[in-house]
């Protein structure tokens, strides 16, 4: 699995540039059913490749050749290993200075805030990292940033950052400790935080492959001429397995770290400064995993050395994360996603209004909603009359989606409920992405799209 960097080495390069920083996304949209991924032959091909290289690495590690490889890595990385804490603290401090200078974000570009005090808290975090005595206070401030982010975003939205941030906070606490038994776990905290973050975020490539389409269309070279429907699930498997590799045996961990350093570093070339800043700590953690000479394993060491456990471990990890991702999405957004929750809520509000007050008196919002329906129906019905069912579907759905966008805009104009405003914004983003996809489908076939604007 660590040597996914061999056959799948550069597959995640496009996906590793966090899609939420560069493209439109809707966290509350219903994810694709996991059955669609399980029916994808390219997903299984990536699994087979990952397991092949994982088993090969484990087999080599059990031999004298494996020990020689580890010893050679020890010699090459010895100078850096001696200054690794300095590197890690400097990168963490530089990251918080950079987002302080950027302003308006909690931890990443997609977690925005208008609270100016957040930026000053980030600067204090950076300053506290320079002294061991104040590092625990910086760790506590990172946790506070997460709490503040939770006040503005749902927990599900920030779950892909939660483990990573807690891993960094844990490192700062353990690195500042005078207890050697505690301190020796400081790099473990970083590896666990990064591993969980990678495995969790990799699931977006199975749940929301459409988020990546516009990015790939803008930068087609990132897929190495592999069709996007093949590239995205294989990239997801590569990212997940390399994340898991950070938690495995020493050689697997170190090779996974090397592969991730290469991937994250090269991703900064096409995606620029935002990606370089956002992934700077990830790169530093991957360096930690790559140069750490420690042979001691502190979590199921006997099991991880067995070849037969590798497929079971990967299957168990996938099962746990997939079940958690899809299950928690239902808990937070319902089986039909945020849009379904909005429909249910509007129905409840309308029913309550009828019960308490009788039929509501029409107002400007009612007239605006009616106008969206009047605008939507003619082109939708005209499109559905096309004799080709595929064309009829797309021609009908474009005005249908535009109607949903227009209704959401009416809510933003006349509504006052913050939750409904948030859902309306998500609906606009998701429906516009799908409208663009359908218009491109028609353009390829030289079919005139309906005038839904």
DSSP string, 148-172: HHHHHS-HHHHHHHHHHHHHHHHHH
Residue 203 exposure: Cα atoms within 13 Å on the Cβ side: 25
The sign of the torsion formed by the CA atoms of 143, 178, 196, 20 equals: positive
pLDDT at 341 over 70: no
Beta bridge partners of 105: 112
Residue 18 counted as domain residue: yes
Q: Is residue 366 a part of any domain in this protein?
A: yes
Residues 205 and 115 in one domain: yes
Q: Is 113 helix (H, G, I), strand (E, B) or coil?
A: coil
Within a domain: 340: no
Among 210-224, 247-261, 339-353, 369-383, the range scoring the smallest mean pLDDT is: 339-353
Q: Are residues 170 and 310 in the same domain?
A: yes
Residues 287 and 394 in one domain: no
- Checking if the pLDDT of 343 tops 60, the result is no
Q: Among 61-70, 89-98, 355-364, 406-415, whose mean pLDDT is lowest?
A: 355-364
Find the mean pLDDT for residues 235-239: 92
> Looking at the domain assignment, is residue 345 inside a domain?
no
Q: Give the number of other CB atoms < 10 A from CB of residue 158.
A: 20
Tokens 């990172």: give the residue.
142
113 with 200, same domain: the answer is yes
Candidate from 194-198, 223-227, 373-377 with smallest mean pLDDT: 223-227
pLDDT tens-place string over residues 356-403: 444 455 567 787 888 888 888 888 888 888 888 898 899 999 999 999
For residue 329, being part of any structural domain is answered with yes
The contacts of residue 420 (CB under 8 Å, 6+ apart) are: 342, 345, 346, 411
pLDDT computed for residue 322 by the predictor: 95
In a domain, 356, yes or no: no
- Please choose, from the candidates 84, 120, 83, the residue with its C-alpha nearest in 3D space to the C-alpha of residue 104: 120
In which residue are the tokens 């666990």 written? 192
Structure letter (DSSP) for residue 306 = -
Residue 27 scores a pLDDT above 80: no
Burial class (CB in 10 A: 0-12, 13-18, 19+), 151: exposed
Q: Whole domain around residue 19: which residue ranges?
A: 4-333
- pLDDT higher than 70, residue 139: yes
Q: Supply the mean pLDDT for the chain.
A: 83
Tokens of 184: 């020796």
The number of domains in the chain is: 2
Distance of alpha carbon 29 from alpha carbon 31, whole angstroms = 6
Under 8 Å between Cβ of 19 and 248: no
d(CA 60, CA 66): 5
**Phi, then psi, of 105 in degrees rounded to 5:** -135, 155
């Amino acid at each position: 699995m660590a040597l996914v960097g061999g056959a799948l080495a550069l597959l995640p390069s496009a996906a590793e540039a966090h899609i939420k920083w560069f493209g439109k996304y809707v966290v509350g949209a219903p994810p694709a059913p996991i059955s669609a991924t399980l029916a994808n032959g390219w997903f299984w091909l990536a699994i087979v490749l990952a397991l092949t290289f994982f088993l090969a690495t484990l087999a080599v590690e059990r031999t004298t050749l494996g020990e020689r490889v580890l010893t050679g890595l020890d010699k090459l990385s010895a100078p850096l290993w001696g200054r690794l804490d300095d590197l890690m603290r400097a990168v963490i401090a530089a990251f918080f200075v950079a987002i302080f200078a950027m302003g308006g974000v909690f931890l990443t570009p997609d977690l925005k805030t208008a609270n100016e005090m957040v930026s000053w808290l980030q600067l204090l975090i950076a300053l506290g990292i320079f002294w061991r005595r104040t590092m625990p206070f910086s760790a506590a401030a990172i946790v506070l940033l997460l709490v503040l982010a939770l006040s503005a975003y749902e927990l599900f939205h920030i779950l892909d950052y939660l483990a990573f941030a807690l891993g960094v906070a844990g490192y700062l606490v353990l690195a500042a400790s005078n207890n050697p038994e505690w301190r020796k776990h400081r790099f473990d905290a970083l590896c666990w935080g990064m591993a969980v973050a990678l495995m969790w975020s990799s699931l977006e490539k199975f749940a929301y492959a459409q988020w990546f389409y516009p990015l790939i269309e803008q930068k087609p070279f990132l897929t190495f001429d592999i069709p996007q429907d093949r590239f995205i699930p294989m990239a997801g498997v590569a990212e997940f397995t390399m994340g898991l590799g950070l938690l495995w045996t020493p050689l697997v961990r170190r090779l996974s770290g090397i592969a991730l350093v290469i991937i994250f570093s090269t991703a900064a070339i096409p995606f620029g400064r935002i990606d370089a800043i956002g992934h700077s700590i990830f790169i530093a953690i991957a360096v930690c995993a790559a140069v750490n000479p420690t042979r001691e394993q502190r979590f199921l060491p006997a099991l991880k050395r067995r070849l037969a456990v590798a497929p079971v471990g990967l299957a168990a990890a996938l099962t746990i994360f997939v079940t958690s991702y899809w299950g928690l999405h239902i808990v937070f957004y319902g089986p039909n996603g945020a849009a379904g929750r909005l429909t249910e809520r509007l129905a409840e509000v309308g029913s309550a209004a009828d019960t308490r007050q009788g039929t509501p008196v029409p107002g400007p919002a009612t007239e605006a909603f009616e106008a969206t329906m009047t605008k939507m129906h003619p082109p939708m019905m005209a499109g559905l009359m096309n004799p080709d069912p595929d064309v009829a579907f797309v021609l009908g759905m474009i005005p249908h989606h535009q109607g949903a966008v227009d209704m959401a805009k009416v809510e933003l104009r006349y509504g006052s409920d913050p939750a409904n405003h948030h859902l309306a914004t998500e609906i606009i983003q998701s429906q516009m992405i799908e409208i663009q996809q359908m218009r491109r489908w028609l353009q390829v076939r030289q079919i005139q799209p309906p005038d839904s604007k």
